A and B are shown apart, each in its own frame.
Chain A
Amino acid sequence: MTKKKRPVIEREEVVVKFVGDSGDGMQLTGSMFSDVAAIVGNDLATFPDFPAEIRAPQNTVAGVSGFQVHMGSSKIFTTGDLVDVLVAMNPASLRSNLKWAKKGATILTDTDAYDDKTIEKAGYKANPFTDNSLDGFNMIMAPITTLTKASLQELGVENKIAERSKNMFALGMLYYIFNRDLNSSFKYFEHKFKKKPELIEINKIVLQAGYNYADTIEALESVIQVSAAPMEKGRYRNITGNLGTAWGLLAAAEKSGRPLFLGSYPITPATEILMELAKHKSLGVKVFQAEDEIAGICSAIGASFAGSLACTTTSGPGLSLKSEAIGLAVITELPLVIVNVQRGGPSTGLPTKSEQSDLYQALFGRNGECPVIIVAASTSENCFYYSYMAAKLSMEHMTPAILLTDGYLGFGSTLFRIPKMADMPSINPPIAEANDSDYKPYKRDHETLVRQWAIPGTEGLRHRIGGLEKENVTGVVSSDPINHQVMTDMRAQKVEKVADFIPEQEIDGPDKGDMLVVSWGGTYGSVHSAVSKMQKEGKSISHAHFHYILPLPKNTIKVLKSFKKIVVCELNSGQFVNYLRMKFPMPNIFQFNKVQGLPFMINELTDKFNQLLEEK
Chain B
Amino acid sequence: MDFINMTVERTNVQLTKADFESDQMVKWCPGCGGHAILAAIERVFPKIGYRKENFCMISGIGCSSRFPYYVNTYGIHGIHGRAAAISTGVKIANPRLSVWTITGDGDSLAIGGNHFIHVIRRNVDLNILLFNNQIYGLTKGQYSPTTPMGKITKTSPMGTIEHPFNIGELVMGAQGTFFARVPDNNIALMTDCMFEAAKHDGTSVTEIMENCVIFADKAHAPVTGKDVKDETMLILKDGSPMVFGKNNEKGLILKDTMLDVVEIGKNGITIEDILVHDQYSQDPGIQLMLAKLAPPHFPMVFGVIRSAMYPTYDDLVEEQIKFARETSKIKNVDDLLNSGDTWEI
Write the residues of chain A forming the contact surface with B, with a CB cutoff of 8 angstroms: 35, 38-39, 41, 231-238, 247, 250-251, 254, 259, 261, 263, 280-284, 286, 288, 290-292, 294-295, 298-308, 310, 324-325, 327-328, 332, 418-421, 456-468, 476-477
7 A-B pairs with the lowest CB-CB distances in the bound complex, closest first: A302-B89, A466-B77, A282-B328, A299-B89, A298-B85, A281-B324, A303-B93
Find out whether the CB atom of B345 lies under 8 angstroms from the CB atom of A421.
Answer: no
Contacts of B59 in A (CB 8 A): 466
Find out whether the CB atom of B345 lies under 8 angstroms from the CB atom of A231.
Answer: yes
Query: Whose C-beta in chain A lies nearest to the C-beta of B80?
Result: A324
Within 8 A of A (CB), among B65-117: 68-69, 72-79, 82, 85-94, 96-97, 114-115
Q: Check A247/B333 contact, CB under 8 A, given A291-B118, A462-B72.
A: yes
Contacts of A41 in B (CB 8 A): 345
B330 interface contact, C-beta 8 A? yes
Query: Whose C-beta in chain B lies nearest to the C-beta of A300?
Result: B89
Query: Whose C-beta in chain B lies nearest to the C-beta of A306?
Result: B93
Q: Check A284/B342 contact, CB under 8 A, given A292-B114, A299-B92.
A: no
| Nearest-Cβ distance from residue A145 to partner chain B, whole angstroms | 30
Query: Whose C-beta in chain B lies nearest to the C-beta of A188?
Result: B341
Q: Which of B24, B79, B328, B344 has the largest number of chain A CB atoms within 10 A?
A: B79
- Option from B53, B325, B341 in Cβ contact (under 8 Å) with A284: B325
- Option from B54, B79, B92, B331 in Cβ contact (under 8 Å) with A261: B92
Find out whether the CB atom of A288 lies under 8 angstroms from the CB atom of B89.
Answer: yes
| Nearest-Cβ distance from residue A382 to partner chain B, whole angstroms | 14
Contacts of B88 in A (CB 8 A): 288, 290, 295, 299, 302
Contacts of A308 in B (CB 8 A): 93
Pick 30 A–B contacts, CB within 8 A, sort by A.
Answer: A39-B343, A235-B338, A236-B344, A250-B333, A261-B89, A261-B93, A281-B320, A282-B325, A283-B336, A284-B321, A286-B93, A286-B317, A290-B85, A291-B118, A298-B89, A299-B86, A305-B76, A305-B86, A306-B94, A310-B93, A456-B53, A456-B56, A456-B94, A463-B75, A464-B77, A465-B75, A466-B75, A466-B76, A467-B79, A476-B24
| Nearest-Cβ distance from residue B185 to partner chain A, whole angstroms | 27
Find out whether the CB atom of B90 lies under 8 angstroms from the CB atom of A456.
Answer: yes
- Option from B85, B97, B344 in Cβ contact (under 8 Å) with A457: B97
Given A237-B338, A461-B53, 4 further pairs, Cβ under 8 A: A283-B336, A302-B88, A302-B91, A464-B68
Find out whether the CB atom of B94 lies under 8 angstroms from the CB atom of A307.
Answer: yes
Find out whether the CB atom of B90 lies under 8 angstroms from the CB atom of A419.
Answer: no
Contacts of B344 in A (CB 8 A): 234-236
B157 interface contact, C-beta 8 A? no
Find out whether the CB atom of A325 lies under 8 angstroms from the CB atom of B53.
Answer: no
| Nearest-Cβ distance from residue A56 to partner chain B, whole angstroms | 30
Query: Whose C-beta in chain B lies nearest to the C-beta of A415?
Result: B345
Find out whether the CB atom of B82 lies under 8 angstroms from the CB atom of A418.
Answer: no
CA of A320 to CA of B163 in the docked complex: distance in angstroms?
Answer: 31
CA of A286 to CA of B69 in the docked complex: distance in angstroms?
Answer: 29
- Option from A35, A251, A310, A325 in Cβ contact (under 8 Å) with B341: A35
Find out whether the CB atom of A328 lies under 8 angstroms from the CB atom of B79.
Answer: yes
CA of A310 to CA of B92 in the docked complex: distance in angstroms?
Answer: 12
| Nearest-Cβ distance from residue A281 to partner chain B, whole angstroms | 4
CA of A460 to CA of B53 in the docked complex: distance in angstroms?
Answer: 8
Query: Whose C-beta in chain A lies nearest to the C-beta of B72?
Result: A462
Contacts of B115 in A (CB 8 A): 291, 294-295, 298
B340 interface contact, C-beta 8 A? yes
Q: Check A282/B89 contact, CB under 8 A, given A292-B114, A466-B68.
A: no
Contacts of A466 in B (CB 8 A): 59, 68-69, 75-78
Find out whether the CB atom of B336 lies under 8 angstroms from the CB atom of A462.
Answer: no
CA of A308 to CA of B317 in the docked complex: distance in angstroms?
Answer: 15
CA of A64 to CA of B96 in the docked complex: distance in angstroms?
Answer: 51
CA of A247 to CA of B334 in the docked complex: distance in angstroms?
Answer: 10
CA of A421 to CA of B320 in the docked complex: distance in angstroms?
Answer: 25
